[in-house]
Amino acid sequence: MPAVSLPLPIARAVLHPMFRYAMHARLPWGVQRALLDAGSALQVLPPGTGVDRLRLGGRPAERITSGSGTGSGALLYLHGGGYTIGSIATHRSLAAHLARELGRPVYLPDYRLAPEHPYPAALDDAEAAYLELLSTGLQPENLAVAGDSAGGGLSLALARRLIDEHGIRPAALGLIAPWSDPNESAPRERDLVVSRPWSRACAEAYLGAGDGLDPGYAPLLGELSGLPRTYVQADRGEMLYTQCTRLVVALDEAGVPTKFSVTRGLWHVAQLQASLVAPAAAAVRELADFLDESLQPAQTRP
């Protein structure tokens, strides 16, 4: 349970104006980044969290631990933010809650953002981070990948690249409301967190001069067979819910073992508020349970 548990109506009332004005298509990207970094101070770390700064794949990163960390293996976590915003600061609390529930270190890299660095910069950085972690002695079967929103789509694209170009399959994928096809226009104008104009601006910034049908940019359009066991979470009321259901159907048709978890009454990537909202903390525990099972030796899995 979080130290402070806000009732959902109060949490929604507090968060809605913050996201509505901080993530606005007319605001410069630098201003959006600064506002969200400042707001992340509300998302506290669990007691006993350890934060070590390092370089990973040539980029700043943090190794986040909690307590003694009894499990073997680790998690590479790719933050969301439409490939244009989001940072270690905005996602440190979520990574720390995952580290506590998982009992393993969580690596949180600061991959390059668009529009300064369009596709495939973020994917290149994620690939470099994963491969460097393997060089430390970790094996693919005990190194999982997770991410939220754009970071979820990036996780999916990373797994495909690792399989196709390196013959490596991560232990599992944990995808929180993954943005797996940025080409798709949302069916609604906005939800509590994201608006259609903002998401379109992010998609265009990330694509740059690239091809929107490139599966590295839109992994939902690419080959899904052979991916590791995958967890997908979405809230029924968020804009990406329909796309997440498409992804789950496609994964199932491709023969990928998949768990689809649907919440009601939360919001897009509510797990970021795990330190403030009990149902969000419960969603983090569910993801951690899935990843923990995936990181167990095959002969001991349920």
Q: Which residues contact 235 (CB under 8 A, 6 or more apart)?
A: 177, 241, 262, 263, 264, 265, 266, 267, 268, 270
Report how far apart the first and last C-alpha atoms of the chain are (Å, whole number).
26
Residue ranges of the domains in the chain? 8-297
Q: How many CB atoms lie within 10 A of CB 4?
A: 11
Q: Do 19 and 288 touch, CB atoms closer than 8 A?
A: no
Distance (Å, rounded) from C-alpha 180 to C-alpha 7? 31
One digit per residue, the tens of pLDDT, for the chain of length 302 reads 666 789 999 999 999 999 999 999 999 999 999 999 999 998 999 999 999 999 999 999 999 999 766 678 999 999 999 999 999 999 999 999 999 999 999 999 999 999 999 999 999 999 999 999 999 999 999 999 999 999 999 999 999 999 999 999 999 999 999 999 999 988 889 999 999 999 999 999 999 999 999 999 999 999 999 999 999 999 999 999 999 999 999 999 999 999 999 999 999 999 999 999 999 999 999 999 999 999 987 545 55
Cα separation, 217 vs 27, in Å, equals 24
Q: 84 in helix, strand or coil?
A: coil
Interior CA angle at 142 toward 243 and 217, to 5°? 30
3-state secondary structure of 174: strand
Phi-psi region of 144 (alpha: psi -120 to 50; beta: other; left: phi over 0): beta
Q: How far is CA 261 from the centre of its chain?
A: 15
Torsional sign, CA 223, 227, 229, 231: negative
- How many CB atoms are closer than 10 A to CB 42? 15
Is the peptide bond between 120 and the residue preceding it cis, with omega within 30 degrees of 0? yes
- 217 in helix, strand or coil? coil
Q: Residue 161 has which token pair?
A: 């690249």
Cis amide bond preceding 257, omega within 30: no
Enter the tokens of residue 209: 């001069």
**What are the phi and psi torsion angles at 202 (to 5°)?**
-65, -45
Cα separation, 283 vs 302, whole angstroms: 20
Q: What is the CATH number of domain 8-297?
A: 3.40.50.1820
Question: By three-state DSSP, how is residue 221 classified?
Answer: helix
Residues 78, 126 contacting (CB under 8 angstroms)? yes
- Which helix (H) or strand (E) segment holds residue 235: the answer is strand 230-235
